[in-house]
Amino acid sequence: MKSYDAVISGAGPAGCSAALSLARKGHRVLLLDKARFPREKICGDGVTASSVLLLEEMGVMELLRQRPESLNAFRGATFVSPGGMVVQGRIMQNGNMKGSSYIIPRTALDDCLVSRVKDHASITFLDNTNVTGLILEGDCARSVTTSAGDFSGRVVIAADGAYSPIARQLNLLNRNKNQQGFAMRAWFSDVDGLTDSIELCYDKVMLPGYGWIFPAGKQRANVGVFLLSRFTDQRTLKRLFERFVNEYDYASAKLKNAVMEPGTLKSWPLPFGSFPGRRGHGNILLAGDAGSFVDPITGEGIYYALKSGQYAAEAIAQVLKRNDEAAVLTRYEELWRGEFSTRVYLPGYAFQHFMNNSWFVETFMRYTAKKQSRADLLADVVAHNRKRRDLFKLLNPFHKVY
Ligand SMILES: Cc1cc2nc3c(=O)[nH]c(=O)nc-3n(C[C@H](O)[C@H](O)[C@H](O)COP(=O)(O)OP(=O)(O)OC[C@H]3O[C@@H](n4cnc5c(N)ncnc54)[C@H](O)[C@@H]3O)c2cc1C
């Protein structure tokens, strides 16, 4: 049995990011995915400024630029309040992250990620290979079992999404209802009135979730609803999607002449980041949705998948250098917690409670609408072009936000 420095299950954003980071540090990697690429991933396809910066470093944006039809830049965010007020913010080029934001169909994005992986001599990529579990020896994985045989690595990364078979075997799948979101989306053609802004509608029956219309090319849009299981019964997802598309004033007017593309209406869970619980066991690390890293207020997951993949690679590279695989999880925990815990998850969960109150959301939006600079700041934060803590600047009425 050939042995690798790392075996990675799942070649989405988390798995590809981890594989590329490890390969750049000179490690031999085996990357496995059950799908054949290009493959679909149910998503809103919103790729924020901070994700774009990571994709740029990985050489993926260069490949995407060769497929211009897949790159739909958005330069603004439109917010619709529970009472129907429309607030238009622009995404500024002087945001902290200085990136552009795009709607990129996941079929194209993930195909380009995999293309970059295939370019790398020290990564072996096997698609059409279903990972079924691990053979454990004490606390450590001795090998990864798959439909193509068993493979062993000094370290294993589970980056195989919200239903990760590895996380399930280790009893580490996040099943806490308070830390789950669900979303349903479909593609629509012949959509009238699309601009270069993403549209987020805070219908009071979905709060603190929202409905979205994301422009993705000529009269085409990714349309969906995002709910938080803690506040809204997940079984109402389809009903709320239909209400959004057919009855909610703002969206139904826009989608009046639009056609839902057949077979595109699908739903999938979003496992939110949290504080308790370790993201792994022994020499096994969980990255991306397998490790539950999604932003609990916006539902953004691509950035956290890419970044947790990088942190997993960094932790692995550090411990392999000193032949100390047993320390990999501790190092990984330090890295991801350092960036995400208090900056993303703590304010995210706190904000959920405010956003669950339609009076608060209405008042906040009315206040934001009073100055263009406030609306721009909100758009920048949602596009992950500025840090979330910058929102506090909104609370000071005399502060000039730019
Ligand atoms: C409807 C919806 C809308 C969303 N919108 C956005 C958005 O606009 N912007 C954003 O940033 N995030 C969004 N998200 C979240 C985002 O899609 C995820 O957080 C992100 O895809 C996580 O990446 P990942 O690499 O961890 O997992 P995935 O992208 O799920 O990739 C996992 C990979 O593992 C493979 N795999 C699974 N099981 C096995 C197995 N047994 N063996 C081998 N391989 C396996 C799969 O084939 C897949 O390639 C949305 C999510 C949903 C559900």
Q: What is the mean pLDDT of residues 210-218?
A: 96
What digits encode the pLDDT tens for the residues 302-319? 999 999 999 999 999 999
pLDDT the model gives residue 389: 82
Where do the structural domains in the chain lie, given as residue ranges? 3-74+99-177+272-352, 178-270+353-395
What digits encode the pLDDT tens for the residues 266-303? 999 999 998 788 999 999 999 999 999 999 999 999 99
Most informative mutation of 52, 60, 160, 169 for ligand 1 (most atoms within 8 A of CB): 160
Is the model's pLDDT at 188 over the cut of 70?
A: yes
Is the model's pLDDT at 362 over the cut of 60?
A: yes
pLDDT the model gives residue 93: 66
Using the mean position of ligand 1's atoms as its centre, give its distance from the Cα of residue 162 in Å: 7
pLDDT the model gives residue 235: 93
Using the mean position of ligand 1's atoms as its centre, give its distance from the Cα of residue 358 in Å: 30
pLDDT the model gives residue 402: 53
Q: What is the mean pLDDT of residues 338-348?
A: 90
Using the mean position of ligand 1's atoms as its centre, give its distance from the Cα of residue 345 in Å: 19
In angstroms, the CA 33 to CA 251 distance is 37
pLDDT the model gives residue 98: 60
Q: What is the mean pLDDT of residues 43-56?
A: 96
Reduced 3-state DSSP string for the chain: CCEEEEEEECCCHHHHHHHHHHHHCCCCEEEECCCCCCCCCCCCCEECHHHHHHHHHCCHHHHHHCCHHHCEEECEEEEECCCCCEEEEECCCCCCCCCCEEECCHHHHHHHHHHHHHHCCCEEEECCCCEEEEEEECCEEEEEEECCEEEEEEEEEECCCCCCHHHHHCCCCCCCHHHEEEEEEEEEECCCCCCCEEEEECCCCCCCCEEEEEECCCCCEEEEEEEECCCCCHHHHHHHHHHHHHCCHHHHHHCCCCEECCCCCEEEEEEECCCCCCCEECCEEECHHHHCCECCCCCCCHHHHHHHHHHHHHHHHHHHHCCCHHHHHHHHHHHHHHHHHHHHHHHHHHHHHHHCCHHHHHHHHHHHHCCHHHHHHHHHHHCCCCCHHHHHHHHCCCCCCC
What is the CB neighbour count within 10 angstroms for residue 249?
Answer: 11
pLDDT the model gives residue 323: 94
Is the model's pLDDT at 95 over the cut of 60?
A: no
pLDDT the model gives residue 397: 65
State phi, psi for 10 to the nearest 5 degrees: 105, 125
Please calculate the CA angle 191-370-343 and round it to the nearest 5 degrees. Answer: 80
- The overall average pLDDT reported for the chain is 94
Q: Which residues line ligand 1 (CB under 6 A)?
A: 9-15, 32-35, 41-46, 130-131, 159-161, 165, 183, 185, 224, 268, 270, 288-290, 294, 299-303, 305
Is the model's pLDDT at 89 over the cut of 70?
A: yes
Please tell me the residue having the least CA distance from ligand 1 atom 50.
Answer: 43
Is the model's pLDDT at 55 over the cut of 70?
A: yes
For ligand 1, what atom is nearest to the CA of residue 35? 47
Range of lowest pLDDT (38-42, 96-100, 111-115, 347-351): 96-100
pLDDT the model gives residue 1: 66
Please tell me the residue having the least CA distance from ligand 1 atom 38.
Answer: 160
- Per CATH, the architecture of 3-74+99-177+272-352 is what? 3-Layer(bba) Sandwich (3.50)
pLDDT the model gives residue 307: 98
What digits encode the pLDDT tens for the residues 215-232? 999 999 999 999 999 999
96 pLDDT tier (thresholds 50, 70, 90): low
pLDDT the model gives residue 393: 79
Please tell me the residue having the least CA distance from ligand 1 atom 10.
Answer: 300
Name the class of domain 178-270+353-395: alpha beta
pLDDT the model gives residue 316: 98
pLDDT the model gives residue 2: 72
Q: What is the mean pLDDT of residues 248-274?
A: 97
pLDDT the model gives residue 400: 63
Is the model's pLDDT at 396 over the cut of 80?
A: no
387 pLDDT tier (thresholds 50, 70, 90): confident
**For the whole model, what pTM was predicted?**
0.97
pLDDT the model gives residue 100: 87
Is the model's pLDDT at 97 over the cut of 80?
A: no
What residues contact 253, with CB distance under 8 A and at least 6 apart? none
